Amino acid sequence: MCGIVGYIGSSEKKEILINGLKELEYRGYDSAGIAVLCSDELKTFRAVGKICNLENKCSDFLSKGFGVGIGHTRWATHGKPTETNAHPQIAEFSNIVHNGIIENYQEIKKDLEQKGHSFLSQTDTEVVVRLFEESLKHTEDGLEAFKQTIQSLKGAYAILLISVKYPGRIFYAKNGSPLVIGKGDDGVYFGSSDACVMGYVNKVVYLEDGDMGYMDVDSFESLKNIRSLEKNKAFAQKDGFRYFMEKEIYEQHKVLLETMMGRVNEEGVVLESIPEDFLEGINELTICACGTSYHAAMSGKYLLERIAKIRTNVLMASEFRYANPVMKKSELFIVISQSGETADTLEALKLAKENRLKTLAICNVDNSSIVRESDAVILTRAGIEKGVASTKAFATQMMVLWIFGVYIATQKNLLDKEGFQKQFKSMVRAIKATEVDPKLHERLKRLSKRYLHGHGFFFIGRDVFYPLALEGALKLKEISYLHAEGYPSGEMKHGPIALADSLLFTIALVPQHLLSEKIKSNVEELSARDSTICVISSQEVQAADDMVYINPAQDYMEEFFSMMVALQLLALEVAIKLGNDVDMPRNLAKSVTVE
């Protein structure tokens, strides 16, 4: 998830671009850059790190008179966070900024290299600007060359491109990534969100997928669906949601597509960041993590052992460090961290390295300490998560573990074509299942007021749904400050059921495609002890006091992702009813960098 901006007009372009990027810095801060085309001169500035570094780099630059400019703040997906990989990406006489992932960039790159193009960066974006210039060798029509370029791309993108050959124009294209065009008194503005054009424009167009063309200073009125802009910046940054956590729950289906993109398609799994011989000699996995990432690891264990038939151990990083663990050269040591700076996980990784184990990081932040320390990495591509209580980071970690399980299975020839297709289609359906149903959210808003008292919550599930129950309990306690515990439902009779009464709330995860009758029996045991029971399922459960219905599914992983969203929304609404600050709960930090 990156942020892009653009401007056409006579005002000071550097200031407008950098101010716009500051409003989008929540979308990425690995690197940033701007390009300004004025008086037939194209100037580009790029810097690693936050936007203040870019400001320092171009502090002496001024752009007088009419011109165009584009800018970008980056969350790395292809290529390390370096100045060379920062945007704008440069060709001979054109510059481009891009938010998204080009799935077929490797094919296009090979073709362009055969035609004599040399590439400077590791990015998928440089391919697009060089393909545009290649197209111009066959036509003088800039728009036609741009259309041909866009038609060659597969993936998600919001693109802004400027070229010395076409001063006064910004070419644009949108597919799957947001892009807004606005008109103010002093020019035309572009942005990934209306937050970055607010205060400059009074009219905007929210582009639809498939929209492409070019803008000059006079062509805004030719656009369709022009509307007035009346929001404030804080509202716009949250895309109209009450909290960042709510926004992040709603965008999970989009970021999960980015997690899959370029890695999984109907033909197979490609993990470019994993060396071909990486799994040689490996017959066991050890996954080490903390908090929400630990719950993802626990769920991933079920998938890895079931799909890839490989023994998988899951360890809590804070305990692992001091347990004098026995390590074997035949185990792959995997660490999971949203920030890449989790202190206990980082120290566990260093311990594994000292024992000469192969290491793999599953992380959201490229160039973080954990990523730099690991032998290989799979980035989750969740984008910046501002809510302290993790939502989309958990979802993308789960998807990466699932993809990795299928990858190992294909490497070991455990999946035939039909078996792989089954997994691929299940992933696609699971992503679709995370798209929030407004009726479900409204139901949970109404239901939440019944769950504000009592002496605690049990969250129960079996198999892969047990770690999901742990995660649901963690979400609730993090932001509502109510006591909540997750349990394997079959363990209730071994002690916890002693707490059951009418003031104990039980949230039961009852899938239809995995151990359904077993968990229904456990629910009935709690009901007989007068526990208040809320069941999340696609079918009615007689023992339930309250039902939260998810959409019917074809397999248990589709149900897993549906229930994940329901648990996140339930925690959100209970916390809001209690008057808590959902995004910044007490006593917690987003990145735990101390023991």
- CA-based Rg of the chain, rounded to a whole angstrom? 25
C-alpha of 102 from chain center: 16
Cα separation of 3 and 205, whole Å? 17
Instruction: Single out the catalytic residue among 14, 183, 358, 590.
Output: 590
Question: What are residue 532's DSSP bridge partners?
Answer: 505
Q: In the structure encoding, which two tokens stand for residue 507, read together? A: 């949230």
Contact between 391 and 367 (Cβ < 8 Å)? no
Strands (E), 382-440: none
> Residues 534, 545: contact at Cβ < 8 Å?
yes
Q: Three-class SS of residue 542?
A: coil
**Taking a C-beta distance cutoff of 8 angstroms, is the pair 340, 363 a contact?**
yes
d(CA 211, CA 91): 24
Reference 404, options 305, 317, 313; nearest CA is 305
Distance CA 560, CA 550 (A): 10
Q: Shortest CA distance to 226 belongs to which of 249, 201, 250, 193? A: 201
Query: Do the bridges between strand 484-488 and strand 456-461 make them parallel or antiparallel, or are there none, so unpaired?
Result: parallel
Q: Residue 459: what residue type?
A: F
Helices (H), 181-277: 233-237, 244-250, 252-260
Nearest to 160 by CA among 230, 257, 69, 246: 69
Q: Is 2 a catalytic residue?
A: yes
β-bridge partners, 51:
none
Q: Are 287 and 359 in contact (CB under 8 A)?
A: no
Tokens of 14: 């550097």
C-alpha of 75 from chain center: 10
Point out the residues that are catalytic.
2, 590
